[in-house]
Amino acid sequence: MSNMHRIHWFDEQIRNGHFPNSSWLAREFEISRRQAQRDIEYMAISLRAPLVYIAKYRGYCYENQTYRLPHLYMTEEEQRVLKYLAHRYRHYDHEQSEVVKRVSHLLERFTLEDQETWKSPLPVFAAPPKQLQHFELLSHAITESRKVHMHYRDHAGERQFSWCPLKMISQYNADYVVGYETDPVQQTAIRLEGIIHVRITNETFECRSDSLLGGWEEPLPVRKPFVAEIRLKEVQQTELWQGYRIRARQDQIHSVEFYDTDAFLQHLFVNEWEELLSPGWLKRKLQQSAERMMDRLAMPSKANVE
């Protein structure tokens, strides 16, 4: 585990008013106090964190509350991911292979030269071919300002409609396409994972510069994630459950963080788990969604009525 992960945890404890110290850090991540103290010194010296030790609370706080950790860094995990991607791209031998191999060379320049990093397990990211195909089709439609026919499914059910795609975005560990059906002002974001089928049509639409509303360009507000307690079939050995961060685990019970409620409900519909323990409001939302789905299944089809 990289020290940046520990430093982010330490930063979060300070912002929550907990006055963490090296003992806390060592106990949380099962490292030595010397290593923990080196992390704290790295924050103060290299990251210029305005750390102040408060003897009364036996821990640290920030002298300047406006301080934010810098984001221009690459963790060990990210370096391993880039090395893996460089390896895959380097051995790609299909269409545009020369371009892909140049991308591989570029990625290798950002990775560690030490081959020992391969001994650590690589994180796993789900990238289904179907979703990648949808991404490619929608990207082409955006470039050509072409309408698409969309077959989409979420917790509210399945529906089909014409769609004017404007741009691709990523929010809370998920990919979305922003667009509209008829009114450019009424823009919404559709999750790629929920797309069943997409087809590019010959019909074009006018993509004016003012069509892209500024709201999609603004950074997401910083807020605390929701936490769901879920009993899984097996204890997860990584820090993620299909892309969602695991805050804590006790046997098969995992505390999973999420921000987007609708996206997480869809995640629960398509992934395996044993029991949703909390929060209660999420259980009720999941039950209501399941009941609506069962009601639609119980409705007689038009063919049967006729």
* CATH number of the domain that residue 32 is part of: 1.10.10.10
State the Cα angle at 215 between 212 and 216, rounded to 5°.
Answer: 65
Backbone angles phi, psi at 222, to 5 degrees: -80, 120
Q: Is 305 among the domain residues?
A: no
Q: Is 148 among the domain residues?
A: yes
pTM reported for the whole predicted model: 0.37
Does residue 201 contact residue 273 with C-beta atoms inside 8 Å? no
Mean pLDDT for the stretch of residues 121-148: 73
Residues 171 and 192 grouped into a single domain = yes
The size of the chain, in residues, is 306
Torsion of CA 150, 154, 157, 163, to 10 degrees: -20
Picking from 65, 45, 53, the residue whose alpha carbon sits closest to that of residue 22 is 53
Residues 135 and 198 grouped into a single domain = yes
Torsion of CA 200, 184, 188, 202, to 10 degrees: 0
What average pLDDT does the chain have? 77
Domain end marker among 149, 184, 216: 216
Picking from 6, 5, 21, the residue whose alpha carbon sits closest to that of residue 61 is 21
Q: Is 304 among the domain residues?
A: no
Residues 147 and 211 grouped into a single domain = yes
Residues 209 and 231 grouped into a single domain = no
Range of 185's domain? 129-216
**Could you write out the three-class secondary structure of the chain?**
CCHHHHHHHHHHHHHCCCCCCHHHHHHHHCCCHHHHHHHHHHHHHCCCCCEEEECCCCEEEECCCCCCCCCCCCCHHHHHHHHHHHHHHHCCCCCCHHHHHHHHHHHHCCCCCCHHHHHCCCCCCCCCHHHHHHHHHHHHHHHHCEEEEEEEEECCEEEEEEEEEEEEEEECCEEEEEEECCCCCCCEEEEHHHEEEEEEEEEECCCCHHHCCHHHCCCCCCCCCEEEEEECCCCCCCCEECCEEEEEEECCEEEEEECCHHHHHHHHHHCCCCEEEECHHHHHHHHHHHHHHHHHHHCCCHHHHC
pLDDT interval class at 19 (50, 70, 90): very high
What Å distances lie between residue 66 and 49, 50, 182, 251, 274, CA to CA?
Answer: 10, 10, 43, 38, 42
Q: Is 275 among the domain residues?
A: yes
Q: The tokens 């789900």 sit on which residue?
A: 126
Give the count of domains, the chain: 4
pLDDT given at position 97: 57
Pair of tokens at residue 222: 């910083």
Span 167-217, pLDDT tens digits: 888 665 567 888 999 888 888 888 888 898 899 999 998 875 455 554 554
Residues 153 and 178 grouped into a single domain = yes
Domain end marker among 189, 216, 243: 216
Span 210-268, pLDDT tens digits: 555 545 544 444 456 789 999 998 888 888 887 788 988 988 999 998 877 877 888 88
Which residues, other chains included, contact 123 with Cβ-Cβ below 8 Å and sequence gap of 6+?
77, 80, 81, 238, 240
Side chain identity at residue 145, one-letter code: S
Q: Is 248 among the domain residues?
A: yes
Maximum alpha-carbon separation in the chain: 80
pLDDT above 60 for 119: no
pLDDT above 80 for 61: yes
Residues 139 and 194 grouped into a single domain = yes
Residues 212 and 230 grouped into a single domain = no
Q: Is 70 among the domain residues?
A: no
Q: Strand 59-62 relative to strand 188-191: parallel, antiparallel, unpaired?
A: unpaired
Q: Is 69 among the domain residues?
A: no
Domain end marker among 181, 216, 251: 216
Q: Do you find a cis peptide bond into 279, omega within 30 degrees of 0? A: yes
Q: Is 234 among the domain residues?
A: yes
Residues 88 and 148 grouped into a single domain = no
Residues 171 and 245 grouped into a single domain = no
Q: Which residue has the higher pLDDT, 2 or 35?
A: 35
Residues 147 and 209 grouped into a single domain = yes
Return the CATH number at 184: 2.30.30.520
Residues 44 and 7 grouped into a single domain = yes
pLDDT above 70 for 107: no
